[in-house]
Amino acid sequence: MKVSTMEKYILLKNKLPEWINMITPTYTIFAPVKEEDLVFFKPITKPSEMTLAYSNAIVPPKAQMFHQTETMFTFTQGKNIRVNPASLPDEKIVVFGIRPCDAKSLSIIDPVFTNDFEDPYYLTKRKNAILVGLSCNQPTVNCFCTSLNGSPASPEHLDILLTDIGDKYYVELNSEKGKQLVEKTKKLFTPATDADSKKKKDVEKKAVDAITRQMKINNVDAFVKKLDTIFDAPYWKTIAMKCLGCGACTYLCPTCHCFDIQDETTLDKGARIRVWDSCMRPEYTLHASGHNPRPERMNRVRNRVYHKYNYYPKNHQMIACVGCGRCIDNCPVNIDIIDVITKAGEVKP
């Protein structure tokens, strides 16, 4: 849908709880909830449980579509083997307060779960979800979405975007799904005025200006190509020396989508499950023969960077990074993707 035809409304802040209450009977609402100084997307039953004064959730809301642990089906073991399909949830969900970058990440990983074989687990949840975003008025130190053509107040990958413009939210409807959700609760919304639109622009500009860390590469597309020429550069070894090979950067990355499949059993019953996995671990590519095509940390660190900035663009014409900064925030040894990419840009082929 074109931005120009987008419908714009105003929702007074004190009306927000009422809106949430009105949609709660129909939807399971995932919203940011604070726990131990961290923010998680969790199902809420009343608006007071959520916190909207947050910078970003520690675990990205990809986890709502791509569960860390998913039962793919169950089976009975023994002579009389039977496979029982897992029931796919048909509950409708609203992910409330999702950031524009995290919404973009879902658009980025959609093709993986769609391609020639549709992934029922992800797609069912994805199709049943309405994304109600919240502009990021106070980006964190490591936010750099603007380096990757994103904006902290972009409605692009959302159904609805709310922007805090003082005592009210500026509401942009960006899809049919979004329109329908508002339609049913129309009495809470009033049309936005030009002054409101201007306010939103100001808020957005302020947020954009607050993002000061940037990848210093001139041209994203050229950089993708450049990576083809520096695959064998000693640079990768240098940055990988300090990598611990944990999964923090990938598990918490909103665009990482790798998984492992395992059978878990009790005496006669079993389940085939899938769990998040990470290319930063040596076991990820280890063959049963003992051969490992990516034996060193250098191979794995490089794979993460290349997968996001070279392989993925080659396959799907998108960089698989939205600039959310989580991998930077959570790396115990300060391996910093902004820095890694910036310096890779300087490496001589």
Partner 1 sequence: MKENPYQPWLATIDSICDEVGGQRAIKTFRLVFQDEKVREKFTFLPGQCVMVSLFGKGECFFAISSSPTQKGFIEVSVLKLGKVTSALHECEPGDVVGVRGPYGNHFDVSGWMGKNLVLIGGGIGQAPLRSLIKYVVDNRKQYGKLDIIYGARTSKDLCYTKDFAELKTCEDTNACLSIDVKEDGWSDFVGFVPDNLMRVNPSPKNAIAVTCGPPIMIKYVIQNLGKLGFSEDQIFTTLEMRMKCGIGKCGRCNIGNLYVCKDGPVFSYKQLQNIKGEQ
Partner 2 sequence: MVNEKQLRDEVKKLVSRDDVKYVIGYEQGTYGFQVTPSFAFTPEEAERFIFSPLCANNLSVYLMLEEKPPLRKGEKEDTRKVGLVVKGCDARAVVQILQEKGLKRESLVIIGVPCTGVIDPKKITVKFPHQIKPVDVREEGNHYVLTINGKNQKIPKDELLFEKCKQCEYPTPVIHDVLLGDEVKSTKKEEYKEIKTLEKKALKEKWEFWSKAFDRCIRCYACRNVCPLCYCKECIVDQLSPQWIYRSVNRSENTVWNLIRAYHLAGRCSGCGECERACPMNIPLTMLNKKIEKDIKELFQYVAGVNLEEKPLLAMFKPNDTEDTIL
User: 211 burial class (0-12, 13-18, 19+ CB within 10 angstroms)?
Assistant: buried
Phi/psi at 233 (nearest 5 deg)?
Answer: -65, 140
Interstrand relation of 69-76 and 38-44 (parallel, antiparallel or unpaired) = unpaired
Stretch in the footprint of ligand SF4 (CB under 6 A) among 5-13, 128-136, 167-175, 239-247: 239-247
Q: Does 195 bind partner 1 (CB under 8 A)?
A: no
Q: Is 85 helix (H, G, I), strand (E, B) or coil?
A: strand
CA 180 to chain centre: 24
Contacting partner 1 within 291-310 (CB under 8 A): 291, 293-294, 299, 303, 306-307, 310
- Nearest residue to 342 via CA among 207, 209, 147, 152: 147
User: What whole-number distance in Å separates Cα of residue 134 and Cα of residue 326?
Assistant: 18
- For residue 125, give both structure tokens: 């949840």
Residue 198 binds partner 1 (CB under 8 A): no
- In the bound state with partner 2, the residue whose beta carbon lies nearer, of 37 and 167, is 37
Number of residues in contact with ligand SF4 under rule CB under 6 A: 31
Question: For partner 1, which residue of 117, 167, 186, 194 counts as binding (CB under 8 A)?
Answer: 117
> Taking contact as CB under 6 A, which single stretch among the options 11-19, 131-139, 175-183, 251-259 is the one that binds ligand SF4?
251-259
- CA dist 40 → 50, 98, 213, 236 (Å): 10, 11, 25, 33
User: For residue 143, which amino acid is it?
Assistant: C
8-state DSSP, 143: -
Q: Site for partner 2 (CB under 8 A): which residue of 57, 171, 279, 338?
A: 338
Residue 92 CA to its chain's centroid (Å): 19
Would you tell me which residues interact with partner 2 (CB under 8 A)?
Answer: 35-38, 55, 58-59, 68-69, 140-142, 212-213, 241-242, 244-248, 251-252, 260, 262, 264, 273, 275-276, 278, 281, 283, 295-297, 328-330, 332-336, 338-339
| Interface ranges with partner 1 (CB under 8 A) | 72-73, 75, 77, 79, 81, 83, 85, 88, 112-113, 115-120, 123-124, 228, 231, 257-263, 265, 270, 272, 274, 277, 279, 284-289, 291, 293-294, 299, 303, 306-307, 310-312, 314-315
